Structure 1
Amino acid sequence: MLQQRIKDAIDRMVAQGTETGVQVSVYRHGEPVVEAVAGVADPATGRPVTPGTPFYAASTGKGVTATVVHVLAERGVLAYDTPIAELWPEFAAHGKGAATVRHALSHTLGLPGLPPHVTVEDLCDWDGMCALIAGLELWWEPGTKTAYHSHTYGHILGEVVRRATGRPISQVLREEVAGPLGVADELYFGVPAAEQGRLARLESTPEVEEAVAGMRAMFGAVMPPELVPHAAYGNRADVLAADIPAGGVMTARAVARMYAALLDEVDGVRLVSPDRLREISGPAFTGTDEIMGNPATWALGYALGPLAPARPRAFGMPGMGGSAAYADPDSGTAFAVTKNRFDPTRASAVDEIAAIVAEG
């Protein structure tokens, strides 16, 4: 039985000390088939992980941001080929007037980096960050190259959502996606202070901190060192409270349910039409990442392929700390793993569980 196989796997990971707390959720054709948890949410207190424990899941949140955009597109509130500056006039500065929502979703916009002076406190200042980004110059002509827009992705698309609806993206997520799916208290941008005590606490190891230090050098061209996500970053109250939709806070079952509702109807809710699903989940751009040098294939807001090699049409987003969520149109499966051992050097939990899901 799939439930038992996954439960046994995550129990073993916790017992062996390779993980601290883990959640796994799997949906098939709109129905939940796995909900498994193991370990502790807070190593300091021993508070156990429950299915309702939210985790900071880093860039897994980018898939949530994309989904909000697609729901609005489905309703005619915005369109992928709309110039961003049509909604956000200030964005047109320095020749950015032709850049579109599609370019932002596919990481081909040409604004992958932030200046070296930007701090975490700056990142939490929505209006300040949007003004800063609007004043940046393009690195290339939009749509011609790709590079992972680590932080700028969230604020650019979040401001597009705000300008199109008059509401911050955290509110739109709650009202248009999480609320209708019954997971408004499990899927967040901007976690209210009163709710932060429910969250899992991220932890790291000296070996991981050493690896993160190396990643700071690798990402130096696109972000200041303190903005490279790590356990302490994901535990900060100001980061958790702010709208920073390049990342997100979620339970595995909430984000799996969201992806399931892209594929199928979930308790009467389907987020997009079958035609739009085909449009948003197919390849939008394939190329070599201009910063990291790796081959990259992007759908509209989701990575294609690497999350589930056995499922080439699977689309979704991993998070730097080891969480991930994806949907597979071929099998009708939506799958998510969240965890609090923040480790960008290994994705063994996701890889092992994805393999079990693909088999069974």
Structure 2
Amino acid sequence: MRLLGEAGLLAQGRSGAGVDPQRIFQAAVDAAIDAGEVGIQFAVYKDEDLVVDVWGGVADRAAGRQVDRETLFNVFSVTKAITAVAVHIQAERGLVSYDAPIAQYWSEFAAHGKDRTTVRDGLSHRTGIPAMPEGVTPEQMADYDWMVNALANLEPVFEPGTTNAYHSYTWGWINSEVVVRTDPQRRPFRQFVDEEIAQPLGIRDLWMGLPPEDEPRVAHMYNSETSIADQSTARGRSMPIQVAGTQDVFGRSIVRQAVIPGAGGIYNAISSARFFALLANEGQLDGVRLLSAERVRRCLEPRPDTDKLDVGRGTVTRVSNGGFWLEAPGVFGSGRILSHPGLGGSIGWADLDNRLAVSMCHNRHGVAYAEPLADALGQAFGVT
């Protein structure tokens, strides 16, 4: 892994003029802080090189702790990109077929008419079970086995495979359990991610279940109550208020240390950007290949009716059959994009055409500061 030196690296923009992306993105961080951000990190890979690694602001006001490059952030649904890649690794190995019923690998999932629900349905938010189990508590959400059993027994609210309905939380366990059930070693999902994704790519801070000793590094979330969805809507039922994406819930040790494969990831920007660099480089990074280039390209295929309303979000949400967003607020670049945003505004994406991987992590919910990021990408890399 080639890291950015203290003096920064020169990158060639479309104009051909040498530019210093580190300086440009540090100015973007400063602009975000001036605009009201609390704490923020940006990281960018170009090809296989880390060319931007900047940060600023406050991780925890009460503790007087500043953000640094080691600060960790709750990234919520950015987590889904990792879980999706885990499924694709199993498919790459011939252990999973996208068109096979999930119940072929996880027999209990067949309950209540879900017997023909496919792995592809699971990846593309079409299983018909977007809502969390009734009355679920943070302690139950943090219990992986409890959640898997509860989801297997849910009755679909839509016929599986017919309706696009974003599964805010349930998506994670549906897909992670396919990985666990098809792993010849039957490793816990946390271990699979560490051994099959993080370690091969040389990523330290890609946590799916945070070690207790790393909790002091996590940024406090501010303004997180703005992320509570209207509980009368499908989105609200997918994120019930008692397990909403707030500091009160996701700041608890039991939740931070839990495996919540659709929303519980805790990363920093350099780790997230390095993961997305795997996708930007079509499945390989620094000589390590986890996915074939063809499989990565297939992840760009849109799910059925992706340009129509997603009833789980109440908006058009362009999602691929591979589990990634093809467009998202705050994502810049045209052409082949694989991305995933997270509740509160953190985001990561891979731009396959420009071989760019971008990550932004922050701790003030509700504001993503897209304009400084867009300006920086345009100045440094000619991306708009």
State whether TM-score is above 0.5.
yes
Deviation of the 1:76 alpha carbon: 2.2
Contact 2:78–2:342 (8 Å) recurs in 1: yes
Contact 2:229–2:236 (8 Å) recurs in 1: no
Give the structure 2 partner of residue 175 of structure 1. 195
Contact 1:107–1:153 (8 Å) recurs in 2: yes
Within the alignment, does 1:274 sit opposite 2:293 as a pair? yes
Q: State the AA in 2 paired with 1:153.
A: W
Within the alignment, does 1:93 sit opposite 2:111 as a pair? yes
Show structure 1 runs of 4+ deviating over 4 A. none
Q: Deviations over 1:102-124 (max 9, x none)?
A: 11111111111123311111101
Give the structure 2 partner of residue 236 of structure 1. 252
Seen in structure 2, the aligned counterparts of structure 1 residues 354 and 163 have a Cα distance that, compared at 3 Å, is farther
Deviation of the 1:310 alpha carbon: 4.0
Equivalence map 1:301-320=2 (5 Å)? 301-307=323-329, 308=331, 310-320=333-343
| Structure 2 counterpart of 1:26, from 44, 67, 70 | 44
Contact 2:269–2:361 (8 Å) recurs in 1: yes
Seen in structure 2, the aligned counterparts of structure 1 residues 91 and 196 have a Cα distance that, compared at 3 Å, is same
Contact 2:220–2:251 (8 Å) recurs in 1: yes
Within the alignment, does 1:334 sit opposite 2:357 as a pair? yes
Q: State the AA in 2 paired with 1:78.
A: V
Structure 1 segments unaligned to the other structure (5+ residues): none
Question: Alpha carbon RMSD of aligned pairs, Å?
Answer: 1.8
3-state SS of 2:131 partner: coil
Q: Which moved more, 1:151-160 or 1:73-82?
A: 73-82
Give the structure 1 partner of residue 213 of structure 2. 194
Q: Deviations over 1:245-272 (max 9, x none)?
A: 1111111111111111123242222321
Contact 2:170–2:262 (8 Å) recurs in 1: yes
Measure the CA separation in 2 of the matches of 1:40 and 1:212. Answer: 20
Contact 2:28–2:376 (8 Å) recurs in 1: no
Scaled by the length of structure 1, the TM-score of the pair is: 0.92
Measure the CA separation in 2 of the matches of 1:39 and 1:175. Answer: 33
Instruction: From the two aligned structures, give the one with the greater helix fraction.
Output: 1
Identity of aligned residues (%): 38
| Structure 2 counterpart of 1:252, from 269, 282, 301 | 269
Q: Which moved more, 1:230-239 or 1:249-258?
A: 230-239
Seen in structure 2, the aligned counterparts of structure 1 residues 137 and 358 have a Cα distance that, compared at 3 Å, is farther
Measure the CA separation in 1 of the matches of 2:56 and 2:30. Answer: 6
Give the structure 2 partner of residue 77 of structure 1. 95
Deviation of the 1:281 alpha carbon: 2.2
Structure 2 segments unaligned to the other structure (5+ residues): 1-19
Equivalence map 1:286-301=2 (5 Å)? 286=306, 287-299=308-320, 300-301=322-323
3-state SS of 2:299 partner: helix
Deviation of the 1:212 alpha carbon: 3.7
Q: State the AA in 1 paired with 2:236.
A: G
Within the alignment, does 1:116 sit opposite 2:134 as a pair? yes
Deviation of the 1:355 alpha carbon: 4.5
Equivalence map 1:143-222=2 (5 Å)? 143-165=161-183, 166-183=186-203, 185-204=204-223, 209=225, 211-213=226-228, 215-218=230-233, 219-222=235-238
Measure the CA separation in 2 of the matches of 1:34 and 1:309. Answer: 16
Q: Deviations over 1:203-233 (max 9, x none)?
A: 22xxx63x34554454333342122212322
| Structure 1 counterpart of 2:279, from 262, 279, 290 | 262
Total equivalences in the alignment = 351
